[in-house]
A and B are shown apart, each in its own frame.
Chain A
Amino acid sequence: MFINGLVEVSVVANADITANATYGPFIEPEPIESAIIAISVGGVSGTSPSLTVTFNAIDPYAYNYYLANGLASPPNPYYTVSSSSITAAGGYYISIGVVFTMWSLSVTVGGTSPSFTTTFISLIGRVSE
């Protein structure tokens, strides 16, 4: 969704996160020049639960090259940033210090029977000056 130069992409919407997962890659129609990943966790359960959210910026050309040539593994992201370990309900964000058009997100959980309920994760970015 674009609003006056802002873009918002909802990745996880009101869902429970109990296992590792990867979302994307997403491709934006215009380069995102400034962005954050906004994280909202409604509740936490399990034994020593932890959640880490990682943002990856991917080179679209390299990714297309990987697809077109049937390569064994996709290209490494040119930029990666992770949240600190989230262990309690609340709001968090990751600042993204890079311009990107293609990106992916991964969540990694730790602990025993971890569950992060009513979780929202979105990318909010700005596309231009």
Chain B
Amino acid sequence: MQQLPYYPFPVRSGPVRRKLTYDVVVFTENGHYYAMTDTGNIFCIDSPTACLQEAVNYVAQFGGGRIYVRRGIYYPSATTNLPDNVSIEIYGDGNETVFSYTGSYLLFLFNPSTPSWNAVFRFRDFKVDRSQSGSNGTDIMDVVHAKYVEFNNVEVIDNFRTAGTDDCAICLYNNITAIVEKCRVYNKSYGMTVGGYLSVAKNNYVVNTYSEGVVAQGFIQGSVLPPGYSYGGLSIIEGNTCIDCGRGDEAIAIDYGANSSNAYGVGIIRNNRIVTMNYTTNHMITGVNVSKLIVENNFMEGTTTAAVMAPTWNNGSGALYAVFRNNYVNVTYSGTNDVLVADNHDTFIFENNRINVTYSNISSNPGDFFHIYNQKEFIRNNVINITIPSGYTLNDVFGPVSYGTDSNPTNIVIEDNNIYINGSASQIVSFFENYSYSISKPFFAFNRNIVNATSGSTIGRLIFISVNGNVEYSQIHDNLINFTPSQSTIYTCCFASGVVWYVDTDIPASQFNSTSQVLFLKRNAGTATIASGATSVTVNHGLACTPSKVVITPLGQPSGNLWVSNITSTSFTINISTAPSANLSVAWLAEC
């Protein structure tokens, strides 16, 4: 058999034709700028935009294309305006393609007043350097009203400023899809604003911003909408690192604008790290007028000058759902008595978080640590350490206020938390119910929590309940309370006339201070006294039922046989066959 010659792969003769990946290349040589087509035709030499505008105009006549900006330093003196109804990609050689300028004008701008909603832009692999002295405040890259805009591996270095507006590195507003990934911004008033019906800010690195470091939003109220769309969208801020961001505002936010009259959209803030190194942050995470919000798996460490995770407060209607879970917070509040979180979504879930907040340099008492106005609250499985300086008193750890309705009744659940107070607090829970129910039963539960306080701490109460409606049902069980309240364990106050609080608890009624009617749902206990010379005593059992069982124990040698009679919905009678010669105390336990 003849052996065939061995060739590792087939070859052919003739020139090798390389497929170019661009339609236009922009490059700089010997102090001049050029734009050249993929076929070698140079159609621009030295323009104010370093031939970028000419390159954009060239590909736009074909509906778009790819513009490669070769490595080099470019000094544009004017903005490159992007046309509508095109698909354009502008990319460079990473940090080797540098746009350097100091003036107050944008590098790229797309903002049509009557958009086609058909423009697609991709920017990647270049750097904007405005770090040189004399740089003035400006937005750098604005894209508004596009169908799709993406930034990938773009770096911006600027001089830090405290501008209130128009000083943003990557500024994308009211697009259908906006994605910013793997970008870096240093020293800017605003880092990146990612606005799109689908808006994603992912794996970015932002350092030292005065206002928002990373913000995402959907279509905000009042914006121009594509046909068939409404305000809102899905916004995701994920995997970002923000260092010294939001020195005067907030580091990371889903933001529909504080002036929005209603809440819109879905926001997810997850897997981010927010930290201070050389400066302080104002807020680390906020959600402003966002309808449905998830904040999870974030790490927040350093010093803030306001609430670390607030506000997530909303105006008007539409605030439906907020979840904070699996977050790690280790923050010193410097000079602020602000809350941990302030939220008024319909449903509020706060679970599996590790919270460590130290108040310092404050001049007035902190208010509610959790300032929460919700119909449904679930605060579970958190470890919460709070340090309050001597001389100041935290008002409440949990301050829920509820406006439930018959169709959406209050459900406040605080369970399985580990709370440590280093300092003084008025109460651990202060709960207000504000609705009068005709059908549904509002419910409050405080179970299996561990509350420790340092020696020398003054804690006024465990629970303070004010029912401003007509009824409340509660369960308070199996808590481990390692402090002695300076006032009372449970305090009810300010109920309207006729209001009843039904409670199932293992806290003795003797530790209640109730200015209102309290009825026990399952059991109650106490001590009655059969007076010297008497053969019975009637006991009001305080149960919401006619007890099925009453157990009595004489606390002294009885003078005769003891038994119970006349069990009614309000009382029972303890009898003794022979009147005692001295008062006889009898402990009792009654159960439904």
- Give A31 to B487 CA distance when docked, in angstroms: 15
Residues of A within 8 A of B488 (CB): 129
**A69 to B339 Cα, complex, angstroms:** 17
Q: Are A71 and B494 in contact (CB under 8 A)?
A: no
- A61-B313, A62-B313 known; A98 and B466 CB under 8 Å? yes
Q: Mark B63-107, 1 if CB is under 8 A from A, else 0.
A: 000000000000000000000000000000000000000000000
Which A residues are in CB contact (< 8 Å) with B466?
A: 33, 98-99
B387 to chain A minimum Cβ distance, whole angstroms, is 21
- Residues 79-93 of A contacting B (Cβ, < 8 Å): 79
Residue of B whose beta carbon sits closest to that of A65: B313
Name the A residues within 8 Å of B367 (CB-CB).
Answer: 60-61
26 A–B pairs (Cβ distance < 8 Å), ordered by A: A29-B365, A31-B395, A33-B466, A34-B493, A34-B494, A34-B515, A59-B401, A61-B311, A61-B313, A61-B339, A61-B367, A62-B344, A65-B342, A68-B258, A69-B258, A69-B259, A70-B259, A78-B401, A79-B468, A96-B494, A97-B494, A98-B434, A98-B468, A99-B466, A128-B487, A129-B488
The yes or no answer to B42 lying at the interface (CB within 8 A) is no
Q: Does A72 contact B (CB under 8 A)?
A: yes
Answer whether A99 and B395 are a contact pair too, CB < 8 Å, given A62-B313, A69-B258, A71-B258. no
Q: Find chain A residues with CB under 8 A from B210 CB.
A: none
- Expressed in whole angstroms, the minimum distance between the Cβ of B516 and any Cβ of chain A is 10
A sample of 8 more A-B contacts (CB under 8 A), given A65-B258, A71-B315, A79-B468, is A31-B395, A33-B493, A34-B494, A65-B313, A68-B258, A98-B434, A98-B494, A99-B466
Contacts of A72 in B (CB 8 A): 259
Chain A residues with Cβ below 8 Å from B365 are 29
Q: How many A-B residue pairs have CB under 8 A?
A: 61
In the bound assembly, the distance between CA atoms of A72 and B318 in angstroms comes to 18
Contact B494 A99 (CB under 8 A): yes
Contact present for A99 and B434 (CB under 8 Å): no
Q: How far is the CA of A96 from the CA of B426 in the complex (A)?
A: 21
Interface: B373 (CB within 8 A): yes
| B263–chain A nearest beta-carbon distance, Å | 13
| A68 / chain B contacts, CB cutoff of 8 Å | 258
Q: How far is the CB of A126 from chain B (nearest CB, A)?
A: 9
The 9 lowest CB-CB distance pairs between A and B, nearest first, are: A69-B258, A129-B487, A97-B496, A61-B371, A33-B493, A99-B466, A98-B468, A61-B342, A65-B313
Say yes or no: A98-B432 contact (C-beta < 8 A), given A60-B367, A71-B315, A78-B401: yes
* Residues of the B chain whose Cβ atoms lie less than 8 Å from the Cβ of A128: 460, 487
B373–A79 CB distance below 8 A? no
Contact residues, B510-541 vs A (CB, 8 A):
513, 515
Q: Which residues of A are found within 8 Å of B426, using beta-carbon distances?
A: 31
> Smallest CB–CB gap between A5 and chain B, Å?
11
By a CB distance below 8 angstroms, the chain A residues around B160 are none
Neighbouring B residues of A62 by C-beta, 8 Å: 313, 344
Interface size for A (C-beta < 8 A) is 22
CB neighbours of A97 from chain B (8 A)? 468, 494-496
B344 cross-chain contacts in A, Cβ below 8 A = 62
B219 at the interface (CB under 8 A from A): no
> Is B491 touching A65 in the complex (CB atoms < 8 A)?
no
B-side residues, CB < 8 A to A, are: 258-259, 311, 313, 315, 339, 342, 344, 365, 367-368, 371, 373, 395, 401, 403, 426, 430, 432, 434, 460, 466, 468, 487-488, 491, 493-496, 513, 515
For A33, A61, A96, which residue has the most chain B Cβ atoms within 10 angstroms? Answer: A61
Q: Which of A71, A78, A129 contacts B259 (CB 8 A)?
A: A71
- Bound Cα distance from A60 to B371, whole angstroms: 10
Q: Are A99 and B493 in contact (CB under 8 A)?
A: yes
Q: Distance (Å) between the CB of A37 and the closest chain B CB?
A: 15
B513 x A129 contact (CB < 8 A): yes
Q: How far is the CA of A99 from the CA of B468 in the complex (A)?
A: 9
Q: Are B493 and A78 in contact (CB under 8 A)?
A: no
Residues of B within 8 A of A71 (CB): 258-259, 315
Contact B432 A129 (CB under 8 A): no
Closest Cβ neighbor of B403 among chain A residues: A78
A86 to chain B, nearest CB (A): 22
Chain A residues with CB under 8 Å of B515's CB are 34
With the chains together, A59 CA to B311 CA distance in Å?
14
> In this complex, what residue of A is CB-closest to B396?
A31
Given contacts A59-B373, A72-B259, contact A129 B311 (CB under 8 A): no
- When distances are taken between beta carbons in the complex, the residues of chain B under 8 Å from A69 are 258-259
Q: Within the complex, what minimum Cβ distance (angstroms) separates A79 from chain B?
A: 7
How close is B164's CB to chain A, nearest CB, in angstroms? 12
Q: List the A side residues contacting B371 at CB < 8 Å.
A: 61
A residues near B313, Cβ cutoff 8 Å: 61-62, 65
Chain A residue contacts of B430, Cβ below 8 A = 99
B420 CB to nearest chain A CB (Å): 24
- Name the distance in Å between A30's Cβ and chain B's nearest Cβ: 8
Q: Is the CB of B491 within 8 A of A129?
A: yes
CA distance A93 to B387 in the complex (A): 42
Whole-angstrom CA separation of A103 from B395 in the bound complex: 18
- Please give, as numbers and ranges, the residues of chain B lying within 8 Å of A59 by CB-CB distance: 373, 401
Residue of B nearest to A128 (CB): B487
Q: Once bound together, how far apart are the Cα atoms of A31 and B494, in whole Å? A: 12
A62 CA to B511 CA in the complex, in Å?
34
Complex alpha-carbon distance, A78 and B35, angstroms: 64
Q: Kindly list chain B residues whose C-beta atoms are within 8 Å of the C-beta of A33.
A: 466, 493-494
**In the bound complex, do residue B339 and residue A78 qualify as a contact, i.e. CB atoms below 8 Å apart?**
no
B259 partner residues in chain A, CB cutoff 8 A: 69-72
A78 to B515, CA, bound (A): 22
Which residue on B lies nearest to A72, using beta carbons?
B259
Q: How far is the CB of B314 from chain A (nearest CB, A)?
A: 10
B543 to chain A, nearest CB (A): 25
Q: Which residue of A lies closest to B306 (CB)?
A: A68
Most buried by A among B401, B491, B493: B493
A100 to chain B, nearest CB (A): 10
Which chain B residues border A31 with CB–CB below 8 Å?
Answer: 395, 426
Instruction: State how many angstroms separate the Cβ of B463 from the closest Cβ of chain A.
Output: 13
- Closest Cβ of chain B to A36, distance in Å, is 12
CB A59 to nearest CB in B, in angstroms, measures: 7
Q: What A residues does B491 contact at CB under 8 A? A: 129
Contact B434 A78 (CB under 8 A): yes
On chain A, the residues within 8 Å of B315 by CB distance are 71
A96 to B430, CA, bound (A): 18
